[in-house]
Amino acid sequence: MRVLVVEDARPLAELIAEGLRDQGMAVDLAHDGLAAAAKLDTTAYDTVVLDRDLPGIHGDALCRMITEREDRPMVLMLTAADTPADRVTGLGLGADDYLVKPFHFPELVLRLRALARRRPYSRPRVLRAAGLELDPVHRTATRDGRPLELSVKEFEVLTALLRASPAHLSAEALLEQVWDENADPFTNTVAVTVGRLRRKLGDPAVIRTTPTVGYRIG
């Protein structure tokens, strides 16, 4: 899941991003409305965690801009404004969910995963190909009925490959989907993670590599 966290309080933004990355999400940060709008123009996000009181472009205006997009991300407003009227206003702007600060972090994670499932263009819940079965909601994966013990990044790489199957995904595409904008484009992280994943999946090999093209399931 690709997430944009828009929060002007930098320590809180970093804390949220670190926690979401620990859950396997690819997270980008913006500390004002203008930076967020620029990122939304160049990157396809599944969800946006949006503070309301932002410099540059106010969170309310940014929320309206997001909801006018054709293939828009889901929006979770995360704000200290906690009256019933505030909630009604926020949801009336087009936000898909509303969470008040201070919040319980596991609840934020669950709400983001629920929003991603509700997104109109979301993928099928259970992904299947080549004897593999992966449930992104319950975070389980099997091969020919055998449970797979995967790290967070291995799970997300396998999810991306299954969603793309039978097409290829380049290393650059995997880097963008599974990591985030801070990932080094010249790193061998993708190759190393795919190598570990191949070993855990076992024989016969199910992840194919096509030089200069990328990886695919099949």
Structural domain total, the chain: 2
Asked which of 92, 118, 144 is the last residue of a domain, the reply is 118
> Of 30, 81, 92, 95, whose CA–CA distance to 56 is shortest?
30
Listed as own residue / partner, the contacts of 118-122 with beta carbons closer than 8 Å and 24 or more positions apart are: 118/74, 119/46, 119/47, 119/73, 119/74, 121/71
Asked which of 85, 100, 118 is the last residue of a domain, the reply is 118
Asked which of 67, 89, 118 is the last residue of a domain, the reply is 118
* Same domain assignment for residues 93 and 183: no
* Same domain assignment for residues 21 and 57: yes
Give residue 145's domain range: 127-217
What's this model's pTM, rounded to 2 decimal places? 0.67
* Same domain assignment for residues 19 and 109: yes
* Same domain assignment for residues 14 and 65: yes
Q: pLDDT digit of tens for each residue in the chain (218 aa)?
A: 889 999 999 999 999 999 999 888 889 999 999 999 999 988 889 999 999 889 999 999 999 999 888 778 999 999 887 777 878 887 888 899 999 988 999 999 999 999 988 877 656 578 899 999 999 878 899 999 999 999 989 999 999 999 888 898 899 888 888 887 777 777 788 999 999 999 999 999 999 999 989 999 98
Q: How far apart are CA 86 and CA 73, in angstroms?
A: 22
